[in-house]
Structure 1
């Protein structure tokens, strides 16, 4: 008799546990899609129903990989090779700059640039903003130094300040990429210097830029054509640097609007890359292109592609009004 009671109690306990597990499973199953959809609504690029009134052709671009996004809706207007793996080169610095502003409480603070970060950058002929070893610099100037002249020393200064080392900072970069749903991206450094395991897609880069532009400090720097630094011990009068995109453009005007800002990138393996923002007929668009032939010394084919695409957007939206 006692054995039967013990068996009944054990069976009842197992049944209760099973019911509880089933309840928890159903709750998670119901809740997870909602959480997933909330994340997707904030970061993902969608292709369905995307601006049917616009007619944009990417087939004749110099860049084999391109994606045009309606920033307000997050919908892709047009795409070409957008999910193919690319090397992002200095487009990487968009992520570095985003983490810089998100992990910094006061951009008016100053830091001293460590002398140890420079020898490697000099050896690799990395692009620099112009700051010197041991110089005391305002963090805001470093942010502009990342996004305008593509300064590698500015990237490493933020990386060391935020995470203690570039290696630790790269972990934060990959965690942020995962959070944003950039499933085809992996970073190995903060600057975009070539590494076979450092890759992305133009779609992922569009997701990143879409998110970053929500930050006011990032947007202000990204859309600036030039910036003058505060005086420092090694630059008593300060100095001015310029956007690597705007310096190649005689005019930012396009049909119906203008190109507001952009971040260029180049390595031999990556080709010419560009992530840009334009305002056209009251709307904003992101265009990310990659792997155009050319170098810093040739025609800037990635910028020509941007002008081409944004002119198409302006002409098409004018026709539809």
Structure 2
């Protein structure tokens, strides 16, 4: 395993961005490990305290990045407990995240909403784009924010994302602004969101490293851990006529549902899949070993669902190396 790398508090916090921390704006590439190291060593104590923290991983220059079994375009695995990066391939490459976007949607909803909030679905939640994943809610339906979060994260409901955005911020544009502000706050400076669900937009992008930052932040919420760790969720809500609607939503993460086997000694904590033609097949997930050490792994733009899980398994196998 790699020696513990320097760790930072979200690559660049909003405070640092606004204050113009000495030398910070001169970085040619804000993700380059050597430049960050130099900045840290030459910066003032105030700059160091505002830029660095002890709970995040930085990708070192010498991290292993070649493996013929890892064929997806961008992948990375982070040892959260030890603060190290076990493997990284194109971790800072700009990529389309597809429905992994919903991790940030859930994070913003949990931060600014209440699980017990009752939400009436409007026509704005109706999505007609071919191939879009839906949880099946309809205008006039009444659900709690908690129910919508399960509809968002398990069956990957784009309609749930729209309903959440409207409830929290009044609509997609305002909610996307909140998503982008949250991304900057946690240091995900290579990210820009245009919607709460991940349907393709050329201005909607992120990186494998930024997704790690976002997922790491979301894991701080027990409710998020509970939701992503649920393989099947059954609930009842009301339609516009007041009649009960009974639904069961199944998670799309095949490790969680048992359709794919986790490597020996590892347990899936849960995660989020994503698939569009532009993004390919994607997955971010958390896992833990027998010592309760936790890991976050990301696979972006695998060619098929099958190769997505092959890539993820090969990535998880590196924990035991």
TM-score normalised per structure 2: 0.79
- Matched-pair contact (CA < 8 Å) for 2:152–2:160: yes
- The CA deviation string for residues 130-179 of structure 1, in whole angstroms up to 9 with x for no partner, is 21221011211101111111111111111111111110111111111111
Matched residues in 2 for 1:132 and 1:313: separation? Answer: 43
The within-5 A match list for 1:4-15 is: none
Residue 114 of structure 1 pairs with residue 122 of structure 2:
yes
Q: Report the RMSD for the aligned CA atoms in angstroms.
A: 2.5
Residue 211 of structure 1 pairs with residue 226 of structure 2:
no
Q: 2:48 aligns with which of 2, 8, 33?
A: 33
4+ aligned runs moved over 3 Å, structure 1: 47-50, 55-59
- Matched-pair contact (CA < 8 Å) for 2:172–2:196: yes
SS at structure 2 position matched to 1:238: strand
- Matched-pair contact (CA < 8 Å) for 1:58–1:79: no
SS at structure 2 position matched to 1:91: helix
Residue 241 of structure 1 pairs with residue 249 of structure 2:
yes
TM-score normalised per structure 1: 0.79
SS at structure 2 position matched to 1:274: strand
Matched residues in 2 for 1:260 and 1:29: separation? Answer: 39
Q: Greater helix percent: which structure?
A: 1
How much does 1:122 deviate?
1.3
Distance 1:309 1:169, change over 3 A: same
- Matched-pair contact (CA < 8 Å) for 2:86–2:318: no
Any stretches of 5+ residues in structure 1 without a counterpart? 1-24, 317-321
Matched residues in 1 for 2:69 and 2:45: separation? Answer: 45
Task: Specify the alignment match of 1:285 in structure 2.
Answer: 295
- The CA deviation string for residues 220-268 of structure 1, in whole angstroms up to 9 with x for no partner, is 1112111112342367252111111137742543211222212101111
Any stretches of 5+ residues in structure 2 without a counterpart? 1-21, 23-42
SS at structure 1 position matched to 2:244: coil
Task: Specify the alignment match of 2:38 in structure 1.
Answer: none
- Matched-pair contact (CA < 8 Å) for 1:56–1:313: no
How much does 1:110 deviate?
1.6
Q: 1:65 aligns with which of 66, 74, 86?
A: 74
Which of the two has higher C-alpha Rg? 1
Number of matched residues?
A: 276
